[in-house]
Structure 1
């Protein structure tokens, strides 16, 4: 009986944390990372304890990092399958393919129309000072880390700081398209989403891989 009670308690805690993560993501996307109180997030997540965010995550920054980590973990299985497919085809040096592993799984979060995620992650990337290549707060999960290592090997002619700056820039380009996805689905646009995605990925590959040209 005691063991069953412990399992139920753990499940309830996980559910509460997930609700806080999803609610925090939505509210941060709507009003900004600094624009909503922890009390409001707890309330709208259905938590009677106004300090639920602090209890589960320690702070606002802890919740922000937890949202990022939660989404990255969701994409791990797809990234692993994509990398295995590239390895089987001998395409682990192909820049477009590597960037697709990093970026495309984001289209499949909540059916690919998660505007809150795209807006939140854009704010997350602009919120931090990301100086080291592939480092975005916590430790990257294995498959994402594997993809980032492949990308770094592919663009080893760039200084690490330049590679990181470009990685942030192209991620923001992709997220802009992700946020627009909902509007493109709901209204008539002069191009399809698939055409916009193809064009954006081509831009991303060029922006990421362009040789560095320094002014003398």
Structure 2
């Protein structure tokens, strides 16, 4: 009697796309965007050749843009909802705004089942910020910009050059610390730093301190000196015209 052949379940185009995206994002998170080839992505996704990636996404860069956008949409929706709630309740504070910057990132892993997005973005911030701007545009970082605008308003007593640097530092520090948090979450093992109940709140305390702490007398003196020098240069340039 002839045995019935067992057919391998057919994988449709949508499932292939998702496998490629999941494999690529994990590789980008673990090894950095520039450390991963198209061949490595398709192999990790269980595909036979590079044509699968090119067929579904066009190029590695196009795939990256789609991955960035997938996460950015979810993060922005959550962040804007938090901001709307703050504004409606009148409970806007520096602490609440930093939480609105942080929590949507930290919640993304639970939404998607993958703890890889933050590290992929951190890699792009170091190597290809232009790709981030192209992918997100003005539409999908609206919540981020709303947070920064609100922070700037609450911290308007700080000298503007200091304030602008502080907001940049908030992003730089946040990117590094949340990438470390994601690494621990992805490992799914006990982590002595993140396991204590107070850890996440304590980290947010430190980020709050970054923007709120008053500038030192040294910083203010250097700022005044720089401003005075720039004014002299401007007057000299105007006089020579």
Structure 1 and Structure 2 fold alike (TM over 0.5)? yes
Gaps of 5+ in 2: 1-11, 226-241
Aligned residues: 199
Shift of residue 142 of structure 1?
4.9
In angstroms, what is the RMSD of aligned CA positions?
A: 3.2
| CA distance in 2: counterparts of 1:161 and 1:145, whole angstroms | 18
**Counterparts in 2 of 1:91 and 1:147: CA distance versus 1, 3 Å:** farther
| CA distance in 2: counterparts of 1:57 and 1:149, whole angstroms | 32
**Counterparts in 2 of 1:210 and 1:78: CA distance versus 1, 3 Å:** same
Listed one character per residue, the Cα deviations across residues 53-100 of structure 1 (whole Å, up to 9, x for unaligned) are 3333333232222222111123344223322221222134x2221221
When normalised by structure 1's length, the TM-score is 0.73
Paired residue for 1:176? 180
Greater radius of gyration (CA):
2
Paired residue for 2:121? 121
2:152 to 133, 152, 155: 155
Q: Which runs of 4+ in 1 moved over 6 A?
A: none
Shift of residue 190 of structure 1?
6.6
| CA distance in 2: counterparts of 1:190 and 1:37, whole angstroms | 33
After alignment, is 139-148 or 169-178 more displaced? 139-148
Shift of residue 197 of structure 1?
0.5
When normalised by structure 2's length, the TM-score is 0.66
